[in-house]
């Protein structure tokens, strides 16, 4: 694997709340390289979004962030706020979840797409506008030149998300962060957006961190996957390995919970219970209360370290199984 | 249904925790007590002219000094509290009654009634508050009663609007539609389902309007159109004293401070209530009807 | 956009008609004979008859109303019961003074409210924010005439920097005008400043929590750019309307301040006409102010529609 574009080392994010400290992210480490797509999977509250936001300096002011975040080798967290901002703007593009609200309603889309290039690449208004037209074209907005001065409300949800992607690519970033970019879209549009990002990645060689709770998307686009629960990484592997040999009970449960047409008519398997509150995280594995396997009693009170299963596949559990996990 | 019960309880517990709200409530309670017991608390009569003691500085005998006729300012300020509170409560009560009725009918029945009623409210809204009040009092003849009527009329539209907006959102809710579908009479629906659920914004609006009503009454009195002498009134005291103020600062400070403190108390309580009961109802409507 | 404008125009026209009705009814509400009340105890029959005829008070109500509206449309608002001068002239004469006061007050208010409101929102929770909120809470509760009296006490009495009352025309003596306008404008402006600060603050706060601001941050734009280009452009749209409404209501609300400072504007005129029972002048003043108010509101709505691209495209 070539030098990673972004790598997190032992990132921890804590919030002080009226009821005590809430730990949203604990000791998370991962990295992503050029041309590679890393998917971060987990339920709401697993810390998958917060880890990326905190790593890039977008966490709320009340967050306490520790650890190292290397962008092209240099620690972002050790930098000044202005430095962080500049590097983030120049090298990382963001696509957030809701295209209806991610765009400024009173500015023309061309302006919004081109802004970052004015700021970070020193382009003039004119140049930025031309670049915006190119980018809009690239993401598949028809009649880009005519529509570059239109306003967001004149576009549909799917089109707006394409505009957002164009905006994220304005400075030719090395990394694209997509935080549940298709969750608010209908299924057909979802597929289009996923395909668009895959195509762009092939063409531009951008690294992609794709945050989602949808395993279907993961299967479609990811090279590597990180599964998060209770603020920690519980399993990380190449995508094929993860689907073929899920080693953490949570991953297994996630995979089993997907509706399978082969089992039509039966009950939908769901994971009972609900995710832990960041205010009351247990000493041991956070998944224990809901774990359908509970194969190793140590997991209850002792935090399992990340254990290598083979070929870049790591898992955070004491439980070893040879027999289960071959399903999928 | 305990929805409004728990709202009430929530309101009380929040008010208790917010120091500003507590101050506001305490001041209001003091005010009401002073208002009710006024004449008995005042050390002097409000019209005891004392020619030897005109424009006396504040002292132990006269904590707020005396005015140009030697009357004790402290006593007058205390007794005036009753008048101000009376006018505020009655006029806002009038505005509430009329406004809510109009808003209910407009919001519930929609159609031409809604159109007509709201256009009428629009017409009233077209006048700056104080201007209209002055005009009404001017033609009806100055005095306590006409002041109450004028302020009531001028404040009714805002209650109508708030009510109507709340009714519009409530009537879409399932339990109302259910009641309609089983044939409950309109009056009953309005009484049992709609009214309790629009109470929250109305409570907020009432306390805010009370604050402004005090200001309006004071302004009217200042212009000589409100409470007529010899009855004391804070606004009137300011008007009478304004010529002497540079020599007798107490004539300007104390009555005005009384108005200020009262209005502030109502505003503090109103704001705290709003934070609890209806955070949506924000400052746009306040700004629109704010200058008195 | 055109359809929207037309709709608003029609609506305003209807309301204006309603306003004229209310103003007209004012005269009818007077218990007794308005002309006799206005003329007082000593009057000569000739003047009484002339005024009575001129006012047409003996005709049926509907006819009177139609006549009133008809005349008003051509600019004739009747004559003063006291001086016999045309009301329109009297009222228009006083308008500039009120306008100069109101405009100065709004400018002063904005000079305070803008920075205070914006900074208070951007630095939410800071000492500045708390101070600003206290300031606006106090400012909204202060009676303006009391503020004025305190101002006179301090600046005219104790410090003797400014004259306590009176007026000098801007054209004749800018310095004189300035020294006379400052106290009343500051008095009126203070209340406006409080209201505006509150509103600006809440509007900016609301916009700050919007997703597209996060997008702008994510793009690495400088904070100042984010605030100016993204936040304010959205937050200030509703503020424009509030400012305009404030200005319009100031036109009528300055009665008290004008009386206190002997400022010869419409507010003072209203008060004088009330004292003198000069009902036509009172009617005229009220009508003019309400009409102005409506007009400004109409302008504001149209301006709002132009500023917010989501509305114009209909």
How remote is the C-alpha of A120 from its chain's centroid?
A: 24
Considering the domain boundaries, does residue A110 fall inside one?
no
pLDDT per position as a tens digit, B146-193: 999 999 999 999 999 989 988 888 877 777 778 778 877 777 777 777
The verdict on residue A165 lying in a domain is no
Selecting from B122, B124, B134 the residue whose C-beta is nearest the C-beta of C270 gives B134
The answer to whether the CB atoms of B134 and C274 lie below 8 A apart is yes
Contact (CB<8Å) A86/C237: no
| Residue B235, strand partner residues | none
Is residue A280 situated within a structural domain?
yes
The residues facing A17 across adjacent strands are: A20
pLDDT tens digit sequence for A272-294:
778 888 888 888 888 888 888 88
Nearest CA in chain C to B138: C274
Nearest CA distance, C203 vs chain A (angstrom)? 15
Residue in chain A lying closest to C237 (CA): A106
What distance separates the 2 farthest-apart alpha carbons in chain C?
Answer: 83
User: What are residue A310's DSSP bridge partners?
Assistant: A313
Concatenating the DSSP letter of every residue in C102-119 gives: HHHHHHHHHHHHHHHHHH
Structure tokens at A271: 């994971």
The domain in which residue A290 lies consists of 4-91+173-315
> What is the torsional sign of CA B124, B128, B131, B137?
positive
- Give residue A295's Cα distance to chain centre: 30
Contacts of A107 in chain C (CB under 8 A): 229-230, 233
**Chain A: residues touching C (Cβ < 8 Å):** 56, 58, 85-90, 94, 96, 98, 101-107, 115-116, 119-120, 151, 153-154, 164, 167, 170
Task: Give the closest-approach CA distance of A18 to chain C in angstroms.
Answer: 16
Helix (H, G, I), strand (E, B) or coil at A149: coil
Domain limits of chain B? Answer: 3-48+65-291
Q: Smallest Cβ distance to B225: which of C153, C249, C274?
A: C274
- Compute how many other C-beta atoms are within 10 angstroms of the C-beta atom of residue A264: 7
Closest Cα in chain C to B262: C141
Q: Give a yes or no: residue A29 inside a domain.
A: yes
Q: Are A119 and C220 an interchain contact pair (Cβ–Cβ within 8 Å)? A: yes
Q: What is the ipTM of this complex?
A: 0.84
- Any chain A CB within 8 A of the CB of C229? yes
> Which residues are registered as beta bridge partners of C79?
C86
CATH class, domain B3-48+65-291, is: mainly alpha
Q: Which of C215, C220, C308 sits opposite A102 (nearest CB)?
A: C215
Q: Which chain B residue shows the shortest CA-CA distance from C142?
A: B260
Q: In CATH, what number is assigned to the domain containing residue A247?
A: 3.40.50.300
Between CA A110 and CA A121 the distance in angstroms is 16
What count of Cα atoms within 13 Å lies in the side-chain half-sphere of residue B150?
33
- Asked if B275 contacts C202 with a C-beta cutoff of 8 angstroms, the reply is no
Domain count, chain A: 1
**Which one of A205-214, B44-53, C278-287 scores highest in mean pLDDT?**
A205-214
The 3-state DSSP class for residue A172 equals: coil
pLDDT tens per residue across span A156-168: 988 999 999 999 9
Distance (Å, whole) CA A218 – CA A215: 5
Residue A195 lies in a domain: yes
**Whole-angstrom distance, CA of residue B98 vs CA of residue A196:** 61
| Cβ–Cβ gap A85/C310 under 8 Å | no
- Residue A265 is predicted with a pLDDT of 67
Partner-chain contact C219 A119, CB within 8 Å: yes
Least confident of A74-88, B203-217, C86-100, C235-249: C235-249
8 Å CB contact of C22 and B123? yes
Token pair belonging to A80? 């000044």
In a domain, A154, yes or no: no
pLDDT at C314 over 50: no
List the single residue in A90, A94, A101 with the smallest CB-CB distance to C210: A101
Q: How many other C-beta atoms are found inside a 10 Å radius of the C-beta of residue A98?
A: 18
C250/B291 touch (CB, cutoff 8 Å), yes or no: yes
Q: How many contacts, defined by CB atoms under 8 Å, are there between B and C?
A: 176
3 state DSSP class of A77: coil
Q: Which residues pair with B225 in a beta bridge?
A: none
Average pLDDT, integer, range A95-116: 92
User: Is residue A253 assigned to a domain?
Assistant: yes
Instruction: Give this prediction's pTM.
Output: 0.81
In a domain, residue A325? The reply is: no
């Amino acid at each position: 694997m070539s030098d990673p574009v972004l790598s997190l080392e032992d990132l921890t994010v804590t919030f002080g709340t009226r009821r005590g400290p809430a730990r949203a992210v604990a000791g998370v480490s991962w990295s992503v390289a050029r041309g590679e797509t890393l998917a971060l999977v987990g339920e709401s509250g697993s810390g998958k979004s917060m880890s990326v936001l905190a790593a890039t300096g977008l966490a709320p002011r009340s967050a306490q962030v520790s650890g190292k975040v290397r962008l092209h080798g240099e620690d972002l967290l050790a930098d000044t706020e202005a430095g962080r901002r500049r590097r983030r703007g120049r090298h990382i593009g963001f696509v957030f979840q809701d295209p209806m609200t991610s765009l400024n309603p009173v500015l023309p889309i061309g302006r919004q797409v081109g802004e970052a290039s004015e700021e970070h690449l020193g382009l003039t208004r004119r140049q930025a506008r031309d670049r915006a037209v190119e980018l809009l074209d690239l993401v598949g907005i028809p009649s880009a030149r005519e529509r570059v001065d239109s306003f967001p409300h004149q576009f549909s949800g799917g089109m707006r998300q394409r505009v957002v992607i164009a905006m994220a690519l304005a400075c030719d970033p090395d990394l694209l962060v997509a935080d549940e970019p298709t969750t608010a879209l209908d299924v057909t549009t979802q597929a289009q957006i996923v395909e668009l990002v895959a195509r762009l990645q092939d063409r531009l060689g951008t690294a992609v961190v794709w945050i989602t709770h949808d395993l279907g998307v993961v299967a479609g686009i990811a090279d590597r996957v990180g599964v998060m629960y209770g603020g920690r990484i519980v399993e990380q592997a190449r995508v094929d390995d993860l689907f073929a040999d899920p080693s953490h009970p949570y991953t297994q449960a996630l995979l089993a919970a997907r509706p399978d047409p082969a089992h039509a008519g039966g009950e939908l398997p769901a994971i009972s219970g609900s995710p832990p509150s960041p205010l009351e995280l247990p000493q041991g594995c956070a998944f224990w209360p809901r774990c359908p396997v509970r194969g190793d009693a140590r997991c209850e009170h002792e935090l399992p370290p990340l254990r290598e299963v083979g070929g870049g596949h790591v898992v955070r559990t004491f439980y070893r199984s040879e027999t289960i996990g071959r399903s999928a | 249904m305990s929805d409004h019960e728990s709202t009430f309880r929530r309101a009380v517990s929040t008010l208790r925790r917010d120091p500003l709200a507590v101050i506001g409530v305490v001041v209001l309670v003091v005010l009401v007590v002073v208002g009710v017991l006024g004449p008995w608390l005042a050390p002097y009569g409000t019209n005891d002219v004392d020619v030897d003691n005109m424009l006396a500085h504040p002292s132990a005998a006269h904590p707020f000094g005396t005015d140009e006729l030697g009357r004790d300012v402290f006593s007058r300020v205390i007794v005036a509290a009753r008048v101000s509170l009376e006018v505020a409560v009655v006029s806002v009560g009038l505005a509430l009654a009329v406004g809510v009725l109009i808003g209910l009918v407009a919001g519930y029945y929609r159609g031409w009634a809604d159109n007509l009623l709201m256009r009428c409210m629009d017409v009233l809204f077209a006048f700056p508050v104080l201007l209209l009040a002055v005009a009404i009092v001017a033609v009806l003849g100055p005095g306590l009663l006409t002041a109450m009527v004028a302020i009531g009329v001028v404040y009714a539209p805002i209650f109508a609007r708030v009510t109507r907006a709340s009714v519009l959102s409530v009537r879409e809710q399932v339990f109302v539609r259910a009641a309609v579908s089983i044939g409950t009479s309109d009056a009953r629906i309005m009484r049992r389902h709609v009214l309790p659920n629009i109470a929250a914004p109305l409570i907020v609006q009432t306390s805010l309007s009370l604050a402004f009503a005090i200001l309006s009454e004071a302004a009217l009195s200042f212009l000589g159109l409100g409470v007529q002498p010899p009855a004391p009134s804070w606004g009137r005291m300011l008007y009478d004293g304004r010529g002497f103020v540079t020599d007798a600062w107490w004539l300007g400070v104390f009555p005005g401070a009384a108005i200020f403190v009262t209005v502030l108390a109502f505003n503090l309580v109103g704001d705290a209530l709003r934070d609890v009961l209806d955070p949506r109802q924000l400052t746009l409507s306040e700004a629109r009807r704010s200058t008195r | 956009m055109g359809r929207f404008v037309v709709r608003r125009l029609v609506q305003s026209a209807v309301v204006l008609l309603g306003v004229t009705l209310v103003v007209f009814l004012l005269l009818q509400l007077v218990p007794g004979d308005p002309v006799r009340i206005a003329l007082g105890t000593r009057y000569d029959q000739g003047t009484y008859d002339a005024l009575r005829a001129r006012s047409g008070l003996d005709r049926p109500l509907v006819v009177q109303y139609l006549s009133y509206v008809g005349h008003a449309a051509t600019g004739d608002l009747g004559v003063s019961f006291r001086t016999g001068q045309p009301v329109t002239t009297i009222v228009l004469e006083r308008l500039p003074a009120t306008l100069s006061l109101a405009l100065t007050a709004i400018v002063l208010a904005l000079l305070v409210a803008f920075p205070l409101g914006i900074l208070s929102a951007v630095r939410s929770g800071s000492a500045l924010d708390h101070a600003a909120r206290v300031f606006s809470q106090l400012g909204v509760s202060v009676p303006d005439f009391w503020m004025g009296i305190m101002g006179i006490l301090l600046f005219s009495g104790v410090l003797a920097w400014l004259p306590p009352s009176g007026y000098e025309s801007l054209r004749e003596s800018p310095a004189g005008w300035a020294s006379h306008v400052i106290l009343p404008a500051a008095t009126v402006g203070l209340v406006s400043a409080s209201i505006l600060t509150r509103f600006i603050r809440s509007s900016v706060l609301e916009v700050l929590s919007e997703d597209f601001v996060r997008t702008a941050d994510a793009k690495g734009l400088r904070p100042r750019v984010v605030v100016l280009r993204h936040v304010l452009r959205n937050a200030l749209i509703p503020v424009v309307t509030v400012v305009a409404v404030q200005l319009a209501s100031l036109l009528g609300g300055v009665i008290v301040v004008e009386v206190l400072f002997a400022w010869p504007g419409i507010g003072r005129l209203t008060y004088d006409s009330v004292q003198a029972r000069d009902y036509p002048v009172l009617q005229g003043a009220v009508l003019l102010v309400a009409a102005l108010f409506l007009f400004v509101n109409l302008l504001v709505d149209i301006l709002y529609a132009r500023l917010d691209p989501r509305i114009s495209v209909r």
